[in-house]
């Protein structure tokens, strides 16, 4: 049977792939196929914002990437998780919508081209967002991605204390923490939640695109490799139901599988570092040593505190009969704590004087996890939690395949805190957290720090806490770096160097990590990418 043929074949139905399918299919004369390794997001958990732990435990919907045991991981193996489902990681993530700072995109543009500067990315945000605060400047009010802030049904005295403590530190209180001013701030986190339900890239972009006759979505299809004719990409070979199949593209194949998967697809296709491919018996079709290099990831430390009173914590609400009550409430009204994202509040600040913009992000929640029970429930006493990380790490790791089998785990070397700059920022971040919790009125309701604990005090001890207790931020970028230099994997128009008809658009192309969570920046860059791709014909 001859392979199906489309104008564009997109690999991956995550944040980038869904946006690309939505935009490229706007032209009814253009046909688009999207290939996704996972299945449909039909389970009820995919709709409930607070079901993140349940979703992370669904093995069928997860790609699990074990790391090497390194000093920066406390010499232990950690696991980085990604979504294997329509919507990709936007279907399982913590729903944080952080745009990044305008300076981030200007930095990307400086390394690539003006196509990626804030003027273009700001316009993309304005077009794709449907923010409950309405349109203003680069904030969109009518776009397909519906965004909201925590509602009055969940706000309480704890939230007010967080705002007041941030203000006491000198941070401006912002109605919209994503206002593009490259400045510090404290406020309520925007979330990809609408009417109490998760809004993934699939619900916002792919499902509307599928209503068009020119879009085909192929699920449960694990991509093996790109099929090349000489130095031109012509098809994608994938495995479905145990059988190998192909789908061909007349214009472009676009890899949108993410920073963890796109490098492997290139390498299995014979595009990459010969020193990686030849020992695996893979014929080198095009030597490109940057594939799988320059992997940058946030190192995120979860901190927790015991509070003085249950009035300031949701811990009780997530346990026992109160949880049953909230499940019923959510089912009937779509409101209450189960409609909340992982973290209600956010702070962006400078860890030390002399910086020109924030270098640290705090995400704060009115609950704390009971790790004696594997973090599957909240602690029996009132608590709060905060995840902290330096925003722009400079240490770079690597990610390379270990086999030609598309299901085999790659060799993942995070190489956290390799640079002195990163180590200084990590220490500064924790000291900034402790200054925050020492501000009134928050200090009056904090009893004691329980994780990692006040015993981690010196610079060396703080770095030990990161090694022992921290995790990845689920924000990996850079493994197919975009740039104007010959050593970059893709050029400024997303074309894989040396290969015709093949582009990459996902977090792997970002030469630097944006200041915050990556789902928003990925969607905005994919929105802009559609214009760049169409311009190229």
| Residues labelled as active-site residues | 475
C-alpha to C-alpha distance for 106 and 120, rounded to whole angstroms: 10
- Residue 535: CB partners within 8 Å, gap ≥ 6? none
Helical residues (DSSP H) of 199-254, grouped into ranges: 201, 207-210
**Contact (Cβ atoms closer than 8 angstroms) between residue 514 and residue 104:** yes
User: Quick one: residue 354, left, alpha or beta (phi over 0 = left, psi -120 to 50 = alpha)?
Assistant: left
C-alpha to C-alpha distance for 339 and 250, rounded to whole angstroms: 44
Name 154's bridge partners. none
C-alpha to C-alpha distance for 341 and 192, rounded to whole angstroms: 8
Q: Which of 302, 475, 291, 399 is nearest to 65 (CA)?
A: 399
Question: CA–CA distance from 491 to each of 244, 484, 495 (Å)?
Answer: 31, 6, 5
Handedness of CA 284, 287, 291, 292 (dihedral sign): positive
C-alpha to C-alpha distance for 297 and 422, rounded to whole angstroms: 11
C-alpha to C-alpha distance for 172 and 248, rounded to whole angstroms: 52
C-alpha to C-alpha distance for 293 and 262, rounded to whole angstroms: 12
Is 446 known as a binding-site position? no
Name 447's bridge partners. none
Q: Which residue has the tokens 């690597």?
A: 398
- Residue 104 neighbours by CB distance under 10 Å: 24
Is 85 known as a binding-site position? yes
- Name the DSSP class of 171: P
Cα angle 428-81-324, degrees, rounded to a multiple of 5: 95
**Contact (Cβ atoms closer than 8 angstroms) between residue 192 and residue 519:** yes
Task: Report CA 417 to chain centroid distance, whole Å.
Answer: 20
Q: Which of 482, 500, 494, 431 is nearest to 459 (CA)?
A: 431
Handedness of CA 510, 516, 517, 520 (dihedral sign): negative
**Contact (Cβ atoms closer than 8 angstroms) between residue 473 and residue 389:** yes
- Residue 335 neighbours by CB distance under 10 Å: 17
Structure tokens of 21? 């399918």
Q: Which of 372, 366, 379, 360 is nearest to 301 (CA)?
A: 360
C-alpha to C-alpha distance for 139 and 149, rounded to whole angstroms: 14
Structure tokens of 490? 């893709």
Binding-site members for FAD are 85, 223
Binding-site members are 85, 223
């Amino acid at each position: 049977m001859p392979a199906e043929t489309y104008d564009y074949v997109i690999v991956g139905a995550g944040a980038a792939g869904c946006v690309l399918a939505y935009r490229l299919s706007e032209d009814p004369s253009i046909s688009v196929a999207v290939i996704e390794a996972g299945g449909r997001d039909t389970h009820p958990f995919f709709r409930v914002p607070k079901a993140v732990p349940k979703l992370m435990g669904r093995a069928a919907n997860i790609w699990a990437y074990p790391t090497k045991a390194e000093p920066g991981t406390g010499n232990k193996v950690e696991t980085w998780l990604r979504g294997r489902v329509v919507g990709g990681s936007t279907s399982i993530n913590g729903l944080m919508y952080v745009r990044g700072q305008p300076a981030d995109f200007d930095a990307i543009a400086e390394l690539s081209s003006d196509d990626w500067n804030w003027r273009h990315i700001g316009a993309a945000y304005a077009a794709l967002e449907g923010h409950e605060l309405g349109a203003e400047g680069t904030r969109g009010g009518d776009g397909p991605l519906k965004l909201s802030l925590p509602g009055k049904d969940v706000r309480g005295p704890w939230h007010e204390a967080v705002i007041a403590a941030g203000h006491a530190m000198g941070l401006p209180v912002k109605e919209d923490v994503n206002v593009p001013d490259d400045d510090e701030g404290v406020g309520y986190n925007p979330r990809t939640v609408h009417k109490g339900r998760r809004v993934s890239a699939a619900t916002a972009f792919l499902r509307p695109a599928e209503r068009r006759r020119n879009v085909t979505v192929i699920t449960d299809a694990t991509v093996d490799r790109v099929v090349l004719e000489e130095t031109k990409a012509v098809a994608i070979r994938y495995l479905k139901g145990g059988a190998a199949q192909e789908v061909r593209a007349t214009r472009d194949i676009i890899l949108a599988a993410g920073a963890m998967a796109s490098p492997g697809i290139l390498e299995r296709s014979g595009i990459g570092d010969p020193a990686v491919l030849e020992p695996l018996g893979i014929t080198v079709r095009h030597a490109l040593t940057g594939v799988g290099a320059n992997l940058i990831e946030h190192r995120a430390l979860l901190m927790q505190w015991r509070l003085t009173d249950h009035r300031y914590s949701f811990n009780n609400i997530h346990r026992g009969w109160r949880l049953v009550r909230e499940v019923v409430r959510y089912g009937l009204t779509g409101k209450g704590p189960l409609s909340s994202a992982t973290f209600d509040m956010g702070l962006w600040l400078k860890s030390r004087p002399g910086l020109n913009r924030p270098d640290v992000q705090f995400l704060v929640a009115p609950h704390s996890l009971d790790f004696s029970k594997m973090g599957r429930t909240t602690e029996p006493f009132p608590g709060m939690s905060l995840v902290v990380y330096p925003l722009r790490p400079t240490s770079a790791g690597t990610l390379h395949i270990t086999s030609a089998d598309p299901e085999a785990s790659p060799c993942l070397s995070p190489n956290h805190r390799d640079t002195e700059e990163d180590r200084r920022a990590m220490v500064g971040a924790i000291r900034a957290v402790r200054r925050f919790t020492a501000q009134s009125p928050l200090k009056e309701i904090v009893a004691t720090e329980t994780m990692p604990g006040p015993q981690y005090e010196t610079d060396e001890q703080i770095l030990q806490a990161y090694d022992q207790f921290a995790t990845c931020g689920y924000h990996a970028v850079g493994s197919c770096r975009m740039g104007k230099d010959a050593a970059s994997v893709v050029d400024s128009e997303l074309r894989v160097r040396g290969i015709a008809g093949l582009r990459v658009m996902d977090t792997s192309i970002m030469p630097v990590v944006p200041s915050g969570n990556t789902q928003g920046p990925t969607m905005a860059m994919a929105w802009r990418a559609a214009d760049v791709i169409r311009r190229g014909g």
